[in-house]
Amino acid sequence: MNLIDVYSSDSAGILYQLLEERTPQQSISHKAMPTRREHENFIASKPYTAWYLIEVDGEIVGATYLSKQREIGIFIFEAQRANGYGKKAVSLLMRKHPGKFLANIGPENGPSRSFFRKLGFELLQLTYVHE
């Protein structure tokens, strides 16, 4: 497995495909699908400390990032899940950027909750919002 730096590669197209697979439960920060232009501007603004495509045997299977607040984001294409790729990618990310990590997971995202628990994360708090 290789982690490919999004900021120094042409990654917008594949990252947009990942966004198209995302369901509302899987993102608590972005609800609406951005346009392709908005998406490209977002990447160009370098929003995260680190952002990687996950490559396995020459194929991109997903993406992972570390936000400036030390939050981890991970998305594996549905067809590539349950192969251990998510766990390996997050472990690599954590090794590259040692320190404290957070993961913000929606309450209905059971798979991700068990995923992060298996990586040794503990429940810190429940955050409520009123909009």
Ligand X SMILES: CC(C)(COP(=O)(O)OP(=O)(O)OC[C@H]1O[C@@H](n2cnc3c(N)ncnc32)[C@H](O)[C@@H]1OP(=O)(O)O)[C@@H](O)C(=O)NCCC(=O)NCCS
Query: In terms of CB distance, is 51 or 115 closer to ligand X?
Result: 115
* b/e code 80-94 from CB counts within 10 Å (16+ = b): eeeeebbeebbebbb
34, 47, 107, 111: residue in contact with ligand X (rule CB under 6 A): 111
The answer to whether residue 66 forms part of the interface with ligand X (CB under 6 A) is no
User: What tokens does 23 get?
Assistant: 């369901």
Q: Which is nearer to ligand X, 13 or 24 (CB)?
A: 24
Distance from C-alpha of 79 to C-alpha of 57, rounded to nearest angstrom: 15
CA distance 22 to 73: 12
What CA–CA distance (Å, rounded) separates 40 from 106?
A: 25
CB nearer to ligand X: give 43 or 91: 91
* Nearest residue relative to ligand X (C-beta): 86
Q: What does the chain come to in residues?
A: 131
> Residue 47 interacts with ligand X (CB under 6 A)?
no
Using CA atoms, how far apart are residues 14 and 60, in angstroms rounded to an integer?
A: 8
Q: Does 68 bind ligand X (CB under 6 A)?
A: no
The stretch near ligand X (CB under 6 A) out of 6-14, 49-57, 72-80, 93-101 is 72-80
Q: Is 84 in the site for ligand X (CB under 6 A)?
A: yes
- Count of residues interacting with ligand X (CB under 6 A): 19
Residues interacting with ligand X, by CB under 6 A? 26, 73-76, 81-87, 105, 109, 111-112, 114-115, 118
